[in-house]
Amino acid sequence: MTATTLATQLMISSDLLTGTEWNASSVRELLQLSADIKARPDRYRGALTGRVLALIFEKPSLRTRVTFEVGIQSMGGSAVFLDHTQSRLGERESLTDVARSLERWVHGIVARVFEQTALEALAAKAKIPVINALSDRFHPCQALADFFTLEEKFGSLRGLKLAYVGDGNNVCNSLLLAGARLGAHLRVATPAGYEPAPEIVAEARRTARETKAKIELLRDPAEAVTGAQAVYTDTWTSMGFEKEACERKAAFAGFQVNDAMMELLAPEGVFMHCLPAHRGAEVTDEVMDGERCIAFDQAENRLHVQKAILLTLLS
């Protein structure tokens, strides 16, 4: 199936802002395209020839920036990086003017922003696709790559038990939305006051009723991890919350993924992290460097999944 027919058949939104734009079958098709891209990259070498992508980043990035740049270049396109780490979007000129200017020059926008509202404002004014490269609310590209990695590892996502322990942040939100669409069983364990957004949990549970997925919110990380095929964690203090670092360190005591927690997994269980990891905080060196860590498989698969997203939206 070509990327053009994929986009036409899926009848998806021209943007990827939250992950809710795509239904269960659309996500399934995207993962299949990602697998084909990974297995046969030469088939797509000129698929985006002449396409130009604008990368707007308010926050630092390694994996997201490199994989989008390498991804479009490997398919014949090019990328322009717009560094907004020193000045926020909308400060120098309005978001409307930024969007309406960029749509005259490029074929798509990838934006990493502090606030989801900035991303939505760009999408509302730009007549070209806008892709969420991370916001305060969502990280859909990460979650799609995570489930692609799990499918590679275990063969099927339906009923797969994924335990997320830590902060109910943007990554957690997107894992809930994607996992619900793919029929997974998600157990999320957070300290009180750090739960994922209730409206996102409600949306995930609504989808789960249709796909036979399962969503559980727990307090005890050990309960979440016991018998799971994977345990996933992220930084306890996301970008923008640095002033809460000491408070969060105390709140998350007992949520560190260490050898003892890994022993609670199913025998084939693995460790996942979206990176960057804070070794000695949410995860130990032993787990990060151990044979059961697949965090770098996740990082590699960001490239293949994001290539599939670009093909779907830009071709």
139 a catalytic residue: yes
Of these residues, 112, 137, 185, 304, which one is catalytic? 112
d(CA 84, CA 89): 7
Using alpha carbons, select from 168, 152, 143, 165 the residue that is nearest to residue 274. 143
234 a catalytic residue: yes
259 a catalytic residue: no
d(CA 157, CA 229): 10
d(CA 1, CA 44): 12
Residues with Cβ within 8 Å of residue 287, at least 6 apart in sequence: 257, 258, 259, 262, 271, 293
Rg of the chain taking only CA atoms, in angstroms: 19
Of these residues, 142, 256, 298, 306, which one is catalytic? 142
Strand 130-132 with 108-112, pairing: parallel
Of these residues, 139, 248, 273, 304, which one is catalytic? 139
CB 146 within 8 A of CB 274: yes
d(CA 191, CA 111): 30
Residues with Cβ within 8 Å of residue 68, at least 6 apart in sequence: 53, 55, 79, 110, 133, 306, 310
Work out the number of other CB atoms within 10 angstroms of the CB of residue 104.
8
302 a catalytic residue: yes
d(CA 32, CA 39): 11
107 a catalytic residue: no
Using alpha carbons, select from 268, 289, 276, 252 the residue that is nearest to residue 165. 252
Sheet holding 78-83: strands in order across?
A: 78-83, 52-57, 108-112, 130-132
Residue 110: both structure tokens together: 């990838």
Q: Which residues are catalytic?
A: 112, 139, 142, 234, 274, 302
